[in-house]
Amino acid sequence: MLFLAFRNIFRNKRRTFMTVLILGVSFTLLMLINSYVTTMYDILKKGSIEQTGHVQIQARDTGKDNPLIGVSDILMIEKSLAGNSKVYDIAKELDVSGLVGTDMRSTIFNAVGVEYAKKGAASSLTLVSGFNLTREDYDKESLLLSSEIAQKINVKEGHYVVLVVTNSDGVLNLSNGYINGLVSTGQTDRDLYFVSLPLKFAQTLLGTEGVSRMMIYLDDEKSIDSIIVQLKGLIEENNLNLIVKDWKELASYYFGLKNLYDFIFAFVFVIICVLVALSVSEIISIGLFERFREIGTMRAIGTKKNEVFVLLLLETLLYNISGIAFGVIFALIISSGTNMARITFVPPGQNAAVPFMFNLNITHTFLPVGLLLFVSFLSTIFPIIKTTKMRIVEVIRHV
């Protein structure tokens, strides 16, 4: 039957070409959309974890402004995680806000005091001009100013600005800061107020040795749960006023975007399935219609109903296999060409370009392609069943 099925799909080359084309283009679209979305998710997830850490420790909100993790707690946590092979790095950050300006102009700022050379908020910055801050600058009163603020208060790298903050005792504190470089966060709204400075400088401004959060980076995501359990145990045991959060609890942007794209992808998938189902069903039905008499003859000369059913099913399978092969080849060509072209675009609400690329991983496409295959089979099964169930004498009388 396989031999006959193979011959039959080539008896009308134009129809076979159209069927394979419809299936192939559908498979290509699904593979490309899936790989683009998966690539984007990976980039966003990686970016999200870089910003928040796999696990984050924060001071419990006690109603005070800017609750901080105290020095003793920091040391206890660092000691607890020291030597843990699952922990890749621990970074600390301190939030500072206030006014930044010159004698002529000023504006509000939201700064993050960071440990440079570690992962965290600083790792996602794009240097616009000047120089980045490094680990060696940890004790300097230098800062990275967003290009938006620099434009607003008419300063640039190499200039000095005054930072005015309310410290942890509620007293106004001010300090000069040297602009090492101008940066962009990639998000237009954030750039209006962003400043990055060394953690020690931020602590000096606020008159504290505490930090707003500790970000713990792990070698493997699978260790998140065990680290959280360990930290929660430590917090409970020592009655610390701290909370532990998984990165997922902090990545609202990532999950918001993912949910949106999942919905869009599902909607597009449904449309593709409907189009494939209607087109393939129609093409197969026309083919069967033209072969009614031949199918009737085959049954009349001794071919059983289930053998005819298997024959027609094999033809559908061959169409689908050809479609998948065509789809994979076409997807590979398009993805390679697009990746080589290095196309970039700036997403809405951001000011940094992101690459438009496909990380085509065939295993990611198994589910959507498998579902489409199922839909394709389902759309042909009814015409096939209807044909095999027809009475022989009706079929051979068909004109």
Partner 1 sequence: MSALLEIIGVSKQYPVKQNMENSTIALRGVSLTVDAGQFIVINGPSGSGKSTLLHIISGIDSPTDGIVKFDGIPLSTLSEDCCTELRRRDIILIFQSFELIQSLTVYENVEYPLRLLKLSKKLRHQIITSVMKDLGIDGFSSRFPRELSGGQQQRVGICRALAVSPRLLVGDEITANLDSENANRVYNILKQLQKKEGMTVITVSHDETLTKYADKVITMRDGRIV
Please report, as ranges, the residues that interact with partner 1 according to CB under 8 A: 4, 7-8, 10-11, 293-294, 296-305, 391-393, 396
Nearer residue to partner 1 within complex by CB, 386 or 391: 391
Nearer residue to partner 1 within complex by CB, 128 or 283: 283
Minimum distance between the CB of residue 399 and partner 1, rounded to whole angstroms?
10
CA dihedral 153, 157, 159, 162 (to 10 degrees): 60
Nearer residue to partner 1 within complex by CB, 175 or 297: 297
Nearest one of 292, 315, 325, 290 to 380, comparing CA atoms: 315
Give yes or no for a contact between 280 and 322, defined as CB atoms under 8 angstroms apart: no
CA dihedral 346, 347, 350, 354 (to 10 degrees): -50
Alpha-carbon gap, residue 331 to 43, rounded angstroms = 21
Strand 172-184 and strand 126-130: the pairing is antiparallel
The 10 Å CB-count burial string (b at 16+, else e) for 289-315 is eebbeebbebbeeeeeeeebbbbbbbb
Tell which phi-psi region holds residue 239, choosing left (phi > 0), alpha (psi between -120 and 50) or beta. left
DSSP 8-state assignment for residue 134: -
**DSSP collapsed to 3 states, 336-374:** HHHHHHCCEECCCCECCCEECCCCCCHHHHHHHHHHHHH
Minimum distance between the CB of residue 19 and partner 1, rounded to whole angstroms?
16
Minimum distance between the CB of residue 296 and partner 1, rounded to whole angstroms?
8
Nearer residue to partner 1 within complex by CB, 152 or 293: 293
Nearer residue to partner 1 within complex by CB, 1 or 43: 1
Minimum distance between the CB of residue 308 and partner 1, rounded to whole angstroms?
10
Minimum distance between the CB of residue 299 and partner 1, rounded to whole angstroms?
7
Minimum distance between the CB of residue 379 and partner 1, rounded to whole angstroms?
23
Minimum distance between the CB of residue 280 and partner 1, rounded to whole angstroms?
20
Nearer residue to partner 1 within complex by CB, 82 or 301: 301
Integer angstrom CA distances of residue 19 from 79, 126, 273, 287: 65, 49, 14, 11
Nearer residue to partner 1 within complex by CB, 205 or 395: 395
Q: Which residues pair with 97 in a beta bridge?
A: 110
Minimum distance between the CB of residue 383 and partner 1, rounded to whole angstroms?
19
Minimum distance between the CB of residue 380 and partner 1, rounded to whole angstroms?
18
Nearest one of 26, 14, 12 to 279, comparing CA atoms: 26
Strand 106-114 and strand 194-198: the pairing is parallel
The two structure tokens encoding residue 192 = 């209006």
Nearer residue to partner 1 within complex by CB, 10 or 345: 10
Minimum distance between the CB of residue 284 and partner 1, rounded to whole angstroms?
16
Give yes or no for a contact between 108 and 195, defined as CB atoms under 8 angstroms apart: no
Nearer residue to partner 1 within complex by CB, 15 or 245: 15
Give yes or no for a contact between 281 and 382, defined as CB atoms under 8 angstroms apart: yes
Strand 172-184 and strand 142-146: the pairing is parallel
Strand 87-101 and strand 106-114: the pairing is antiparallel
Nearer residue to partner 1 within complex by CB, 354 or 396: 396
